Amino acid sequence: MDEKEDIINQDEDNGFHSLKTPLNVEDIEGLTAGDLVKVTGDLFTARDAAHKRFLECQDTKFELSSGIIYHCGPLVKELQGDYKDKKWELVAAGPTTSARMSKFVPPLLEKYNIKAIMGKGGLNNSAIKAMIENKCIYISVTGGCASLVAEHINEVKGVCWQELGMPEAVWDLKVKNLPATIAIDLKGQTLYRN
């Protein structure tokens, strides 16, 4: 077992619920704010500029509803030379402040069948209202823990809109057993003091 596997398997079955993409309503309806989860599957990173483009009907090339929207501007290293099919190395990928994206959440959920949004710091009340209506949960990742998150990312599957710059582009990250917390559930119960 290599070092990466070792870190990933720590705390296994230690009160964590497992969450795997693609997500259906059945996968998330039993979860309550405060539950600890381990996230596996596809994360699509998106910040301010990417959200604007999602809503301007630009083609992302990614099937957003098949994964989790992750408020994150990752640090990615482009690999030079022969690394077989690997083009990118994920260096660091902690969450960014979700509050900046609050205003985009209602139209985004109208447009795409997104079941989970992940970030830090929570969302405003109108975003939460839209999440209740469209059955979407909010997952909190510990802010600043970019190296820890990177340990759980196995692959950078692709990127879209690189012209926006590294932080603002949309990256498809394949994640395994990422430790996180349900911070807003389907009933709109939140761990934050909204």
Partner 1 sequence: MEKENQRCETLYKRVVNAAKEAIKEAETSVPSWVKSKIKKSIDEEKEVASNQLNNILKNINIASEKNKPLCQDTGIPIFFLRIGTEFPVNFPLRSAFEDAMELATEEIPLRPSIVNPFNRKNSGNNVGDKVPILNTEIVEGSNSFEITAFPKGAGSENLSKQWMLLPDEVNDIDSYIVDAVDKAGGKPCPPLILGIGIGGSFDYSTNLAKKALIGEPNTSDGCIGSLEDQILAKVNSLGIGPMGIGGKTTCLGVSIETASCHTASLPVALNIQCWASRTATKVLEV
d(CA 184, CA 162): 31
d(CA 97, CA 127): 14
Stretch that binds partner 1, among 21-29, 54-62, 105-113, 159-167 (CB under 8 A): 159-167
Helices vs strands, H then E, count in the chain: 6, 9
Is there a catalytic annotation at residue 71? no
Which residues are bridge partners to 39 per DSSP? 19, 178
Q: Rounded to the nearest whole angstrom, what is the least distance from the CB of residue 37 to partner 1 in the complex?
A: 11
Q: Rounded to the nearest whole angstrom, what is the least distance from the CB of residue 143 to partner 1 in the complex?
A: 4
66 to each of 42, 126, 172, how far by Cα in Å?
A: 7, 24, 11
Q: Quote the strand ranges of 7-70, DSSP E.
A: 16-20, 36-45, 68-70
Q: Rounded to the nearest whole angstrom, what is the least distance from the CB of residue 51 to partner 1 in the complex?
A: 14
| Catalytic site residue from 17, 51, 71, 152 | 51
d(CA 60, CA 157): 14
Q: Rounded to the nearest whole angstrom, what is the least distance from the CB of residue 24 to partner 1 in the complex?
A: 26
Interacting residues with partner 1 between 89 and 148 (CB under 8 A)? 91-94, 96-97, 99, 120-122, 140, 142-148
- Which of 74, 88, 114, 117 forms a contact with partner 1 (CB under 8 A)? 74
Give the three-state DSSP class for 154: strand
Interacting residues with partner 1 between 12 and 41 (CB under 8 A)? 15, 34, 36
Residue ranges that bind partner 1, judged by CB under 8 A: 7, 15, 34, 36, 49, 72-75, 77, 91-94, 96-97, 99, 120-122, 140, 142-148, 150-151, 164-168, 179, 181, 183, 191-193
